[in-house]
Structure 1
Amino acid sequence: MKKILVPVDGSGISLKAADEAIKIAKKFGSEVTFLSVVEVKMPFYGAKPISANLIKMQNQIEANATSEYERLLHALIEKYKNLGLVLHTKILTGPVDMEIEDFAGEDHSDLIVMGKRGLSPGKRFLVGSTTKKVLATAPCSVLIVKE
């Protein structure tokens, strides 16, 4: 197992998944990539053209989210830097599940380690979780860490 991908969003369960991924990486000498994905869902109000203000607001939200993820990923690198592992970070923008899947394929990841959120069965059925979507279509094995 050469490459492990860990999607992180700052939640407790994603940080727990990072810890689990590091344990695995230490056993196998794997590289670890911590990935954060910025997804901004702007409201849609019919067929009106998108205003310049709405685009400006979306760009500002993306920039703020990217800055927060940069801090998060830097903190993870600092936390694990003395373990002798090769660690990488990546921030992407787009639909979270699709970006995780695409990056895992492009990076030739051998394993994705990610957290599972505790949504109610009704919400999972109607919305579907990112974890469920990734599990269904990932190009490699997926380890799901529960709370």
Structure 2
Amino acid sequence: MKHIVVTTDFSAEAESAFDYAKEIAQLIGKDKCKITLLKVIDEVAPANVTFAFGLSIVDMLEMLHRQTSEKMREIAEKHFADFPVEISVIKPTKPVYAEITEFAKTNNVDLIVISTHGRTGVKHLLLGSVAEQVVRQSPCPVTVVPIKSSNKN
């Protein structure tokens, strides 16, 4: 196992996956394994919108990408300081789960580590589960990490 991807959506629940990814990398050996911290930008507005201050959708997406990349660097420094970690921020052209699985296919990923928000019932039915779809579509093994008990609502 040479390449582990850990996903985040910047939620507290997503942080549950960080420790698991680090533990697996530690077992393999930090010098033998690469971790990629992956974020798919999923907050995209309609293309025909002009925002305050005259910003176009292109300008807004560029600003969102910069802010997301900065947040990812902060996460990498805070949670993965002792590990070789790469950051990848994807501007989506398809659903989040499809972007994650496509990234895994094109980047020779050996394992995806993803957290679950723990939604059940109607919330799960209406909102779906990115983790569930990643498991169904992934070209490699997926470790789904439950939320830590301190993060549950």
Bin of the TM-score, shorter chain as denominator length: 0.7 to 0.9
Residue in 2 that maps onto 1:103: 103
Q: Is the 8 A contact 1:37 1:96 kept in 2?
A: yes
Identify unmatched segments of 5+ residues in structure 2: 148-153
- Please provide the CA RMSD for this pair: 2.3
Q: In the TM superposition, what is the alpha-carbon distance from 1:43 to its structure 2 partner?
A: 5.0
* Sequence identity percentage: 28
Pair 1:128 & 2:131 matched: no
Secondary structure of the equivalent of 2:108? coil
Q: Name the count of aligned residue pairs.
A: 138
Kindly provide the amino acid, as one letter, of the partner of residue 88 in structure 1.
Answer: E
Give me the whole-angstrom Cα distance separating, in 1, the residues matched to 2:67 and 2:35: 25
Unpaired runs of 5+ residues, structure 1, are none
Per mean C-alpha deviation after superposition, the further-off stretch among 60-69 and 92-101 is 60-69
| Aligned match of 1:144 | 144
Deviations 1:104-142 (A, max 9, x none): 111111111110112232122223111111111011111
Does structure 1 residue 91 correspond to structure 2 residue 89? yes
SS in 1 for 2:80: helix
**In 1: Cα distance, 2:24 partner to 2:137 partner:** 22
Rounded Cα–Cα distance in structure 2 between residues aligned with 1:32 and 1:127: 28
TM-score (norm 1): 0.78
Q: State TM-score, norm by structure 2.
A: 0.75
CA distance in 1, matches of 2:10, 2:62: 21
One-letter amino acid matched to 1:11: S
Shift of 1:34: 1.2
What do the CA deviations read for 1:10-41 (whole angstroms, capped 9, x no partner)?
A: 32232221101111111122321111222223
- Give the match for residue 20 of structure 1: 20
CA contact (8 A) 1:13 1:145 kept: no
State yes or no: 1:116 paired with 2:122. no
